[in-house]
Amino acid sequence: MNSRSLSFRLVTWYASLLTIVFVLLGSVTYLLVRHYLEANLLDIQARRAHQIADTLVDSIARTGGAAVAYEIEDLYSPEANDRFLRVTRDDGHLIYASGAPKDRSFVPGAVPLPSLNRSREFNRKEELAGGDLLIATVPHRVGEHRYLIEVGVSSAITEATLDDVVAMLAVGLPVAVIIAVAGGFVLVRRALVPVDRIARKAEDITQHNLSDRLPVVRTGDELERLSVSLNHMISRLEDAIQTSKRFVADASHELRTPLTVLRGELESLAQDPQLKSQTTETLGSLLEEVSRLSGIVEGLLALSRLDVGEAQAEWVPFDLAELAATTADQMSLLAEDKDIAVVCEAAPSITVEGDRARLKQVIVNLLDNAIKYTPRGGTVRLQISRQDGFAVLDVADDGIGIPPEALPHVFKRFFRVDDSRSRDKGGAGLGLSIVHSICTAHGAQVEVSSVLGKGSRFRVRQPLATATHSSI
């Protein structure tokens, strides 16, 4: 998966946040559980201490310390219950201290004595070598003496419960994160499906199908807004391109009248027999430029007419192979003039549908181009063949070729490979873009391949006419 894709980034963020939240929640749970368990345990110890204080220590004046110690040992047997028990008088005299517990979880002698002058009960946690000891301490006054009753228990009991909690969190947390991430991933993916569709459709939109629009999913969300805004943008683009196309058409129309006047005036001047030969030369040169200008205007008009889809005016099925052969024949003298051989290899009867005159212009322009850029004595090869449902027209020459960096631009209007080589050949740079526009209007593709110094090949692929049409 693409690590920069929106879904990946969203899910990563989501997973990280979720993990942090879960870890925090887990820690808080752990601490709370520990606190609760310890508080509970200490509470039990404290109650026991009170019990000892009320029932045994209270009567110490009567019974004496040894009797109290005996009673404690007898009633509570702290060693057997893994408990710590100590009774100390405020002058430091030890009344009773429990022995080592059965499970040896702590050493009673190592438990330090708290300060003896405290008058309120308190809890503490002693960290010993064998583990922590939770101790509740209850002071009890009898006569002029105060006795400190300490009851403790190893925190190992709570540790075991806490270990369970940790284990549960350690397993449950990743599982929860995985489930949440997987769910999130599916959700994000589903939410982003329209983005994919919009992107794919947007890829397909070029200047030739600007009337197409992106799919709008009526969900009322941001994606709907995005696709609607994009569609508005495409509309504005369409308008802009339409305007520029109309401008080209209008400008070309407007240029025609002045060009007619210019040509007419110059022609009538040029035919005056009394002119000096130098003037005639100048007039001739001017007329040639007017012709070139007219050529460009005509070319632009032809292109703008193709842009608005006028090529469909005369749509008939015809034999492309036959058209190619006659066109090549008509142009053979042009090639002969440069000692160029035009070889035409046409498979029999390849029927396509379209505007015959326009497709002829494709062949004429491609052949003219090939002849122009092939040196004296070269060969131009015209091939018409059938390839899985397509009529393929190939015009190949062994001429000067086209540099690779120029190849993607040869069909653009007014493009020249380099100014020096074609201006003297009289090209305006519109011939190949006319070829391209005609092909587009016919649902055909035209492509070019070339090796500099070896020659170029132009290939037109047009769908064959369907059988029902070709039989008419």
Partner 1 sequence: MRILLVEDEKKLSELIERALKAERYAVDAAYDGLSGWQMADAYDYDLVILDLMLPSLNGTEVLRRIREKNHKVPILILTARDATEEKVRNFEAGADDYLTKPFAFAELIMRVKALLRRGPVIRSSVLRVGDLEVDRLSQQVKRAGKRIELTAKEYALLEYLATNPGRVFSRTMIIEHVWDQSFEGLTNIVDVYVRHLRSKVDDPFPSKLIRTVRGVGYSLGESVEV
Neighbours of 252 (CB within 10 A): 20
Taking the least distance from each CB to partner 1, the nearer of 169 and 371 is 371
Q: Applying CB under 8 A, does 426 fall inside the site for partner 1?
A: yes
Size of interface with partner 1, in residues (CB under 8 A): 51
Q: How far is the CB of 343 from partner 1 (least distance, A)?
A: 19
Options 24-32, 181-189, 223-231, 263-271: segment touching partner 1 (CB under 8 A): 263-271
Q: Which residues contact 86 (CB under 8 A, 6 or more apart)?
A: 94, 96, 97, 98, 108, 111, 148, 149, 150
Of 281, 339, 345, 447, the one binding partner 1 (CB under 8 A) is 281
The interface mask with partner 1, positions 347-366, x = CB under 8 A, is ----------xx-xx-xx--
List binders of partner 1 among 311-330 (CB under 8 A): 313-314, 327, 330
Q: Is 132 helix (H, G, I), strand (E, B) or coil?
A: strand
- Which range touches partner 1 (CB under 8 A), out of 49-57, 134-142, 333-341, 414-422? 333-341
Q: Which is nearer to partner 1, 43 or 310 (CB)?
A: 310
Which one-letter amino acid corresponds to residue 69? A
- List CB contacts of 347: < 8 A, sequence separation 6 or more: 321, 384, 385, 386
* Contact code string over 132-161 relative to partner 1, x by CB under 8 A: ------------------------------
Of residues 236, 256, 409, 454, which one binds partner 1 by CB under 8 A?
Answer: 256
- Per the CB < 8 A criterion, the answer to whether 177 and 119 are in contact is no
Q: Which is nearer to partner 1, 108 or 431 (CB)?
A: 431
CB of 119 or CB of 268, closer to partner 1 = 268
Q: How far is the CB of 256 from partner 1 (least distance, A)?
A: 4
Residue of 49, 60, 76 lying closest to 137 (CA atoms): 49
> Residue 130: phi, psi to the nearest 5?
-85, -10
Q: Residue 301 interacts with partner 1 (CB under 8 A)? A: yes
| DSSP string of 317-362, one letter each residue | EEEHHHHHHHHHHHHHHHHHTTT-EEEEEE-S--EEEE-HHHHHHH
Q: Does an H or E element contain 312, and which?
A: none
Among residues 163, 239, 254, 272, the one that binds partner 1 under rule CB under 8 A: 254
Complex with partner 1: residue 157 or 364, whichever CB lies closer? 364
Q: What's the alpha-carbon Rg for the chain, to the nearest Å?
A: 50
Choose one: 77-85, 91-99, 129-137, 253-261; the region binding partner 1 (CB under 8 A). Answer: 253-261
CA-nearest of 177, 115, 124, 176 to 155 is 124
**265 forms part of the interface with partner 1 (CB under 8 A):** yes
Q: Which of 15, 44, 230, 334 binds partner 1 (CB under 8 A)?
A: 334
- SS3 (DSSP) at 192: helix
Among 163, 272, 337, 345, binds partner 1 (CB under 8 A): 337
Provide the terminal-to-terminal Cα distance of the chain, rounded to the nearest Å: 54
CA–CA distance, 192 with 383 (Å, rounded to integer): 48
Write the CA distances from 456 to 13, 380, 397, 400, integer angstroms: 54, 10, 6, 8
Contact call for residue 377 and partner 1 (CB under 8 A): no
Q: Could you list the residues that contact partner 1 (CB under 8 A)?
A: 253-254, 256-257, 259-261, 263-268, 270-271, 273, 280-281, 283-288, 290-291, 294-295, 297-299, 301, 305, 310, 313-314, 327, 330-331, 333-334, 337, 357-358, 360-361, 363-364, 368, 426, 431
